[in-house]
Structure 1
Amino acid sequence: MRYSSQVRPISYLKANAAEVLKNLAEQREPLVITQNGEAKAVLQDIASFEETQETLALLKILALGNQDVAAGKTKPAADIVARLRAKRAAD
């Protein structure tokens, strides 16, 4: 995705806030806001933001898992399955 087509000055945002929000929700593409010709902020719809946060959370979980593997903090799957079955049978 190229962000160059979705760049607007802050004055545009101030004058067209409702339209900007509507377009964000419909197009689901982020909007770069500039101030004095410099990119200062990125606006995105809430659904895209939530998806991004979920993706980041999953990536963090994967990174933590990789750290555990590298540190040798693993157990054979058969041991875990046996422990879960024993717990389930006890319940």
Structure 2
Amino acid sequence: MKYSTQVKPISYLKSHAAEIVTTLTQTREPMLITQNGEAKLVVMDVQSYEEQEQAIALLQLLAHGRKEIEEGRTTPAADVFAQIEAMDKDDSE
């Protein structure tokens, strides 16, 4: 995605808010808003934002898992499955 095609000054945001909402909802491309020639905001539709937040959460989980592996805090899969089977037996009794 190229932000250079979606760069607008803050005055454009102020005067075209409804149009921007429609455009961003349809294109799902974020818009970079500048103030005095300097990048200040990124405006995006809610669905894209939520998807981005989910992706970040997954990356954080992966990073946490990698750290635990590096620190040796792991449990062999066979042990985990044995624990699950034991729990299933306890529940069925």
- Consecutive aligned runs of 4 or more in structure 1 exceeding 4 Å deviation: none
Question: What is the CA deviation profile of residues 50-81 of structure 1, one whole-angstrom value per residue up to 9, with x for unaligned ones?
Answer: 00000000000000000100010011101000
User: Could you state the TM-score of these two structures normalised by the residue count of structure 2?
Assistant: 0.95
Aligned residue identity for 1:20:
I
2:65 corresponds to? 65
- Figure out how many residues of one structure are paired with residues of the other and give that number: 91
1:17 corresponds to? 17
Q: CA deviation at 1:29?
A: 0.2
Aligned residue identity for 1:61:
L
Unaligned segments of structure 1, at least 5 residues: none
Distance 1:35 1:72 in 2: 49
2:36 corresponds to? 36
Match of 2:69, SS state, is helix
Distance 2:68 2:3 in 1: 37
User: Could you state the TM-score of these two structures normalised by the residue count of structure 1?
Assistant: 0.98
Identity %: 51
Distance 2:89 2:16 in 1: 62
2:84 corresponds to? 84
Aligned residue identity for 2:18:
A
Q: CA deviation at 1:9?
A: 0.5
Distance 1:41 1:89 in 2: 56
